[in-house]
Amino acid sequence: MILGSTDKVVALDPVGAYDLGSQQLIGNIYQNLLSVPAGGNKPEPDAAESCEFTDEKTYVCKMKPDLKFSSGDPLTAEDVKFSLDRMVKIADATGPYTLLGSLDSVEATDPTTVTMKLKKADATFPFILTHNVAAIVPDEVYSATEKQPDDKIVGSGPYKLDKYTPNQQAVFSINPEYTGPNKGKTPNFIVQYFEQASALKLAIEQGEVDIAYRSLSPTDLESLRSGGNGVKVVDGAGTEIRYITFNVKKKPVDNVAVRKAIAQVIDREAITTNIYKGTATPLYSTVPSAFPGAKPAFQEAYGDPDPAKAKAILEEAGVSTPVALDGWYTPTHYGPVEADLWNELKRQLEGSGLFKVSLDSTEWDQYKSEAFEKGTYYFYGMGWFPDFPDADNYLSPFMRDGGFFVNGYSNKEVNDLLDEELATDDAAVREEAFGKIQDIQAEDAPLIPLWEGKQVAAIREGVEGVETTFDPAFQFRFWVVSKKAD
């Protein structure tokens, strides 16, 4: 099986990987105590036999006996402790270690028991253990202080990495030592990397790859849907989101009226129809519609796009028009149509007569430095893929004290509501808190959600199971995919 992708891979050691391209491989190489099964929405045992909270701040996992890494070496509770401690200690700038912020300590109570103490109650902790932040690595192979080279990767997941050539190819085979619930259907799996979406489209049309996944352009997908050539386009629920972020400490968006007027003008239907051609749907909260607790708060607060209402918002606040805005985007990190998206936003905002927009762009490494670290940008585009399938993962990272992008926004009521939902596993209590947070998000508008994307792939005739892996966890599971013999 050959999967073609334009994704970039930053690292194959979990400590250095918080990007989707890396995570898609890591999720197949390594094993976690818990995992979310295809089509599921709750963590279930993987390397663990059982896990439970023994009190609100103590989480204990009993591991399955006789686990092994692909090298044949035993996997024990000591490896789990080593992996979590190592993640926090190395704290790699490109890694996901911040997800373990609630973890206080880890102990290997005996060879098959792991006891994790939390700093505070955290209902999402079982979900966090499904993320590659908690992927288990061998303590006898990996350094406790340095990132493992990509050519010396060892895991205990469904597949083992046989060969990796950066930016070209990753070659996998079934891990014979794996005894978990996710046994692979395809003996050998290859990920082939492409620089351009156009080359990926040509490869799937010519049968050079069996699957084209992340990322074909919306226009290419539209062409493939009607083109034949033994190719079929399949899609499923997606939890990728795109949104506008404001640095609320910078003029002119330090004025909430300006942010609300922008929210009042934006036409999401036009964006998803004209730019994304049905591969995305309008989003009215940072929480995707597939998650319990999602609420279309921006739709309820602003209704349909209405420049007259936006004008009234600005007039009431005494804001002179047109408001000059400097918009920033990154041209390739989020796919091939980012410039089209931002030109559409410019068209809408300037079409209202209320704004004058200038646009600029820069590649991702500089972009994130200017946006997050230096705070240079005040009006810019961002995206998010889930760490785990829970609404909190679309609220805490954005709404607590400036969010991960450090945009200057802080609201005590929001922080209290986040603490409340994290401290309980009562679904009704959590969903009520989620709803209130989303209402505040729409009222304060520190960011504006734009769309949620479907997961889409083009597949050759005979390929099966791809739709099965399209779910809110956003993990491409090699093990559910198979191909009929020619």
At residue 486 the predicted structure's pLDDT band, cuts being 50, 70 and 90, is low
In this predicted structure, what is the pLDDT of residue 189?
A: 98
Same domain (yes/no): 472, 432? no
9-57 pLDDT per residue, tens: 999 999 999 999 999 999 999 999 999 999 888 999 999 999 999 999 9
Domain assignment present for residue 294? The answer is yes
Length of the chain: 486
Residues 76 and 178 in one domain: no
Residue whose C-alpha is closest to residue 172's, from 55, 342, 27, 277: 27
Please check whether residues 403 and 467 belong to one and the same domain.
no
Q: What is the CATH number of the domain that holds 396?
A: 3.10.105.10
Q: Is residue 360 part of a domain?
A: yes
Residues 401 and 460 in one domain: no
Residues 207 and 349 in one domain: no
Q: Does residue 1 form part of some domain?
A: no
Residues 270, 225 within the same domain: no
For residues 448 and 334, membership in a common domain is answered with yes
Between 267 and 471, the more confident residue is 267
Same domain, 388 and 462: no
Angle between helices 256-265 and 307-316 (to 10 degrees): 170
> Are 448 and 333 part of one and the same domain?
yes
User: Contact at 8 Å (CB) between 414 and 396?
Assistant: no
Q: Judge whether 23 lies within some domain.
A: no
Q: Looking at the domain assignment, is residue 20 inside a domain?
A: no
Each residue's pLDDT tens digit, 444-483: 999 999 999 999 999 999 999 999 999 888 999 999 999 9
In a domain, 8, yes or no: no
pLDDT higher at 452 or 485: 452
Using CA atoms, how far apart are residues 107 and 86, in angstroms rounded to an integer? 13
pLDDT, tens digit, for every residue of 136-180?
999 999 999 999 999 999 999 999 999 999 999 999 999 999 999
pTM: 0.92
Q: Are residues 249 and 386 in the same domain?
A: yes
Measured CA to CA in angstroms, residue 73 lies from 108, 156, 275 at distances of 18, 10, 50
Checking DSSP bridges between strand 211-213 and strand 447-460, what pairing results, if any? Answer: antiparallel
467 and 443 share one domain: no
pLDDT of residue 336: 86
Half-sphere exposure of 391 (CA within 13 A, CB side): 27
Full domain range(s) for residue 129: 30-134
Tell me whether residue 425 is in a domain.
yes
Question: What CATH number corresponds to the domain at position 119?
Answer: 3.40.190.10
Q: Judge whether 17 lies within some domain.
A: no
Q: Please give the Cα distance from 464 to 469 (Å, whole number).
A: 11
How many domains does the chain contain in total?
Answer: 3
Model pLDDT for residues 324-367, shown as the tens digit of each residue: 999 999 998 888 899 999 999 999 999 999 999 999 999 998 99
Q: Which of 170, 226, 168, 223 has its CA nearest to residue 198? A: 223
pLDDT band at residue 432 using 50, 70 and 90 as cut-offs? very high
Q: What is the mean pLDDT of the chain?
A: 96
- 179 closest CA partner among 46, 354, 373, 342: 46
Check residue 194 and give its pLDDT.
96
390 and 351 share a domain? Answer: yes
pLDDT of residue 228: 77
pLDDT above 90: residue 93:
no
CA distance 69 to 71: 5
